[in-house]
Structure 1
Amino acid sequence: MNMRDLQVAVCLLCCLLTNSLPAATPEVRGTWLTTTGVDHIRTGFNTEGTMHDLRAVGLNTVYVETWKNGYTNFPSQTLKALIGTTDRNPTIGTTRDLVQETLIHAHRNQMEYYGWFEYGAMSQYIGAGGNPNNPLSNYMKNRGWLLKNQSGQYADSTNGGFAYMNIAVPEVRQFIIGMTLEAVNRYDLDGIQFDDHMAWPVNFGFDSTTINLYTSQTGNPAPTSPTNSQFSAWRQQKVTKFASEFYSAVKSARPEIKFSISPSITSFSTTNYNADWPLWESQGIFDEFAIQMYRSSLSSFNSIVNQQVTPFEPNDLDKLVFGLRINPSPLTPYNDVQSMIQRSRTEGAAGHSLWFSSGVLDIYESQLTSFYDVAGQGQAQNPNFSADHRPAPLVASSLGSGLWDVKVTNADRYRIVAKIGSFWTEFNVAELNAGSQLIQVPGATQVELLVDRRTATSFLGDFDGDFDVDASDFILWQRGKGLTSGATAMDGDANADGKVDALDLARWQLNYGWFQANGAVSQHSIPEPSANAILSVIILGWLIQIRHFKSEFFRKRIPI
């Protein structure tokens, strides 16, 4: 055998050995990320490392806090218009866009990202007998739209000490849906998730608003007990109606986005929170059910599993995700956690999600890394998405003077993300052809392209929605220029921040000449504007973003 034949034989052998390696079975491997407690995402300084480490362990999905304690973790015109003051939580910085920050790093690490609207129908944590007093709670309280128990309290030990908004009130439902749709329509989210707080606590509903609605709609007398069967049935109908209405609104806005719900176990969820999720599953409401099977020992966990699996038909088990707890106290022993994960596989569930990121990275990082064995088996695909749904970022090379070169392998829509200073931001969105592309991003130390899965063409500067970017779109931008709130795509708002400014013009200019033939094939046919014109716009956008980052990250923060 000559040397060439030997080399060929070695290559063939290597290929055979590589192909014989067991591939990781697709499954949801998730965790939740919160701003409470450990600083994985709270200040923003650890977000990049956190997402990298979660991916290295073997996770493919993150559920990231988006709505908490009466505030959004993203700019919300809906909330701001309602309460007339800041929409962001003062404890994390009132100008930060935590959703954008975390979304970029999740996708840079090829993980699916769900905006986790943790607080659901809750407006504030106040403790048992507490008085709701944040801006949203005051707005709702002044209109009689917060639930009360028979003692006239807004919270007690049975509902965890939280003030709940009354979802029987149309305006409350419209607010929650509208706030959520802002995030759905603006960000390149893979999904959203609501918690066990899309609910109506059993002891609540004795406020005058609820009693008036109940008696007028049913003809029944006012209930004297929170467990009155007719009163419970009425409240469950209200929660189910809201769930159905909400799901339809999200799927109408973006059919491809996944809507996940993470309720308590049945029948506790139905009895104590009037949230009948087995009924929702049977009616085709929600795409994923991450049931909170939170038990700190294997024996107690095994005792509840069958009841959670039974509501799912065999062909619907791909909607079921086992929610498993690691911490806080008491800590679940690692061997029990591993056995719980194995049980989810045995039952045929779509996968599992671990509460919460602190347990994954600060307690059982080495054990989980060994268990998932990414080095030997590769990363597991989330079965709810295609294998190439979140490909690796395309990394640009600096040519100096703010000019970057990137090799685009496939023509597609891309989010241009850049590290400017200490943090990353979405700099622009563009339809790019395959081949070498030059991008001007002044002030950046790193530039990458992330595939954009949003379908709305307004992000490209197609303000009139006619599937091209041309002079008529510029005229709309020109008319809307200077709007600082309430702007839509038709006003020239390309990045869905409610304003019309140079950042929106930069998107129009970068994509000028793009059109979508027959609503399907994206092309560029018209020469782009001069490099100097583009550069002048982008530099202006860059200066605006730099001011934003200075105010966002270097202001004094209030610790939690």
Structure 2
Amino acid sequence: MTIIETRGVWLTTTGSKVFKSRERIAEAMHFLAQTGFNVVFPVVWTKALTLYPSKVMQQTFGVEIDPLFVGRDPLAEAIAEAHQVGLKVIPWFEYGFASSYNLNGGMLLEKKPEWAARDRDGNLVNKNGFEWLNSLDPQVQNFMLNLVLEVVKNYDVDGIQGDDRLPALPSEGGYDQLTVKRYQQQFRKNPPRNSQDKQWLQWRANILTDFLARLYQQVKAVNPNLLVSMAPNIHDWALKEYLQDSPKWLEQKIVDTIHPQIYRRDFLSYKSIIDQLVKKQFAVMSPRLAPGILMKLGNYSISPEYLMQAIEYNRDRGISGEVFFFYEGLRDNNNALAKVLQNNAYTKTASFPSLSDLSNVAVSNSKPSSNWLGLLKFWRNISY
């Protein structure tokens, strides 16, 4: 019987040399396939630059590609090398609606100052060092949508992925003139000064949900077999802080697979989130879910024991897959964690779930508490 699991990893430009050359990309893809992975999520939009020659960026901002990669197309290289060894490729739009990191908006807002997200005092929205585009602005949304569509139309990808910045906006935002006017026209009053007022939160979150629905529909119009993958933070913290209403995304069926960032640094904390999930009986539709697991960040590296505990607990609870942040964690200490996976949880080959696999699961598990309803109930009740 064929094993169907999501075995994924994020590929970054930060703290990694994978994209330095095609040879490095080829070596990484071969290494991942040998280790037992079946899908990669290479970053294609980061630091307000693309990792492929972009007409959208050239026409809008005059910068075709990240200057580090002029004369190359790292996305095309990654797709070719990954597909050659049987890996699926789902480009990851990591930066989402962020404009810069500690650069006061950077190039994007220097050229398009009207695209800035504003807080209640009129300041550029800055949260945890990131400055933001106004993701509630239709022009900004169209820009992001055009970036995504450019990739799915021009490259042989297997899907696309958003994360905790796509679609998203810090809840401090939404006080720009355009959004305020839109709110006033609908409610005949100004938005609340309290940025986390429940009604004000939901109204802005609904705008982002509508954007995701449009993105989903237009991606599927290009190719109905493409997967729309999302890696949001945990509800309902993500709703209160970044206007990400993942229960509504699931209710409206505008995501195909979801990878909540369960970035806990010890197994018991990770287990507690998974336990909440299982209580809501979501695991019966496990191919749609592959939690994000923090493998490496700064000086932190997951221990081999925690790594195996997390995977074993996922499988014990019927969750068929995970995605690791990020690739370089596999290569530390002479590939120690990769060897743990290859010799244990990933010894047997597994197929990445296709849309038909996901649809079959949804049909065969049709009890009211399962499938989308089960995930919806889980998401509405889990706490950060």
The Cα of 1:105 is off from its aligned counterpart by 0.7
Aligned-residue CA RMSD (Å): 2.1
The structure-2 alpha-carbon separation of the partners of 1:311 and 1:75, relative to structure 1 and needing over 3 Å to count, comes to: farther
The separation in 2 between residues aligned to 1:181 and 1:343, in whole angstroms, is 37
- Partner deviation per Cα, 1:2-24 (whole Å, 9 max, x = no partner): xxxxxxxxxxxxxxxxxxxxx67
User: Structure 1 regions of 5+ residues with no counterpart?
Assistant: 1-22, 388-560
The separation in 1 between residues aligned to 2:284 and 2:314, in whole angstroms, is 15
The DSSP-based 3-state class of the residue aligned with 2:15 is: coil
Residues 237-316 of structure 1 mapped to structure 2, 5 A cutoff? 237-308=206-277, 313=282, 316=285
The separation in 1 between residues aligned to 2:85 and 2:245, in whole angstroms, is 36
User: Structure 2 regions of 5+ residues with no counterpart?
Assistant: 358-384
**Is the 1:88–1:95 Cα contact (8 Å) retained in structure 2?**
no
Please name the residue that 2:91 is paired with: 115
The DSSP-based 3-state class of the residue aligned with 2:260 is: strand
The DSSP-based 3-state class of the residue aligned with 1:41 is: helix
Residue 138 in structure 1 maps to residue 110 in structure 2: yes
**Greater relative CO (CA pairs within 8 A, separation 6+):** 2
The separation in 2 between residues aligned to 1:333 and 1:245, in whole angstroms, is 41
The structure-2 alpha-carbon separation of the partners of 1:307 and 1:213, relative to structure 1 and needing over 3 Å to count, comes to: farther
The Cα of 1:347 is off from its aligned counterpart by 2.6
- Partner deviation per Cα, 1:255-293 (whole Å, 9 max, x = no partner): 111110000011211111110112211211110001111
Residue 362 in structure 1 maps to residue 332 in structure 2: yes
Please name the residue that 2:154 is paired with: 186
The Cα of 1:373 is off from its aligned counterpart by 5.2
> Percent same amino acid among aligned pairs?
29
The separation in 2 between residues aligned to 1:312 and 1:283, in whole angstroms, is 19
Please name the residue that 1:106 is paired with: 82
The Cα of 1:97 is off from its aligned counterpart by 1.0
**Is the 2:274–2:314 Cα contact (8 Å) retained in structure 1?**
no
The DSSP-based 3-state class of the residue aligned with 1:123 is: strand
Residues 99-498 of structure 1 mapped to structure 2, 5 A cutoff? 99-126=75-102, 130-134=103-107, 136-141=108-113, 144-156=114-126, 159-197=127-165, 198-308=167-277, 313=282, 316-328=285-297, 329-363=299-333, 364-372=337-345, 374=347, 377=348, 379-384=349-354
Match of 1:79 among 16, 36, 57: 57
The Cα of 1:96 is off from its aligned counterpart by 2.2
The structure-2 alpha-carbon separation of the partners of 1:99 and 1:43, relative to structure 1 and needing over 3 Å to count, comes to: same
The structure-2 alpha-carbon separation of the partners of 1:278 and 1:139, relative to structure 1 and needing over 3 Å to count, comes to: same
**Is the 1:247–1:259 Cα contact (8 Å) retained in structure 2?**
yes
> Which has a greater percent of helix?
2
Residue 37 in structure 1 maps to residue 15 in structure 2: yes
TM-score (norm 2): 0.86
- Partner deviation per Cα, 1:528-554 (whole Å, 9 max, x = no partner): xxxxxxxxxxxxxxxxxxxxxxxxxxx
The structure-2 alpha-carbon separation of the partners of 1:176 and 1:37, relative to structure 1 and needing over 3 Å to count, comes to: same
- Partner deviation per Cα, 1:336-362 (whole Å, 9 max, x = no partner): 111111222223224111111011222
Q: Which amino acid aligns with 1:89?
A: D
The Cα of 1:310 is off from its aligned counterpart by 6.2
**Rg: which structure is higher?**
1
Please name the residue that 1:52 is paired with: 30
The separation in 1 between residues aligned to 2:184 and 2:313, in whole angstroms, is 46
The structure-2 alpha-carbon separation of the partners of 1:373 and 1:309, relative to structure 1 and needing over 3 Å to count, comes to: closer
The structure-2 alpha-carbon separation of the partners of 1:366 and 1:186, relative to structure 1 and needing over 3 Å to count, comes to: same
Q: Which amino acid aligns with 1:354?
A: F
The structure-2 alpha-carbon separation of the partners of 1:319 and 1:165, relative to structure 1 and needing over 3 Å to count, comes to: same
The Cα of 1:371 is off from its aligned counterpart by 1.4
> Which has a greater percent of strand?
1
Match of 1:61 among 39, 42, 48: 39
**Is the 2:135–2:208 Cα contact (8 Å) retained in structure 1?**
yes
The separation in 1 between residues aligned to 2:178 and 2:342, in whole angstroms, is 52
The separation in 2 between residues aligned to 1:147 and 1:30, in whole angstroms, is 33
Q: Which amino acid aligns with 1:221?
A: N
The structure-2 alpha-carbon separation of the partners of 1:275 and 1:311, relative to structure 1 and needing over 3 Å to count, comes to: farther
Q: Which amino acid aligns with 1:160?
A: N
Number of equivalent positions: 352
The separation in 2 between residues aligned to 1:370 and 1:217, in whole angstroms, is 59
The structure-2 alpha-carbon separation of the partners of 1:313 and 1:366, relative to structure 1 and needing over 3 Å to count, comes to: closer
The structure-2 alpha-carbon separation of the partners of 1:182 and 1:294, relative to structure 1 and needing over 3 Å to count, comes to: same
The separation in 2 between residues aligned to 1:73 and 1:306, in whole angstroms, is 38
Match of 1:89 among 42, 47, 66: 66
**Is the 1:199–1:273 Cα contact (8 Å) retained in structure 2?**
yes
The separation in 2 between residues aligned to 1:226 and 1:385, in whole angstroms, is 38
The separation in 2 between residues aligned to 1:170 and 1:97, in whole angstroms, is 29
The Cα of 1:147 is off from its aligned counterpart by 0.7
The separation in 2 between residues aligned to 1:187 and 1:337, in whole angstroms, is 33
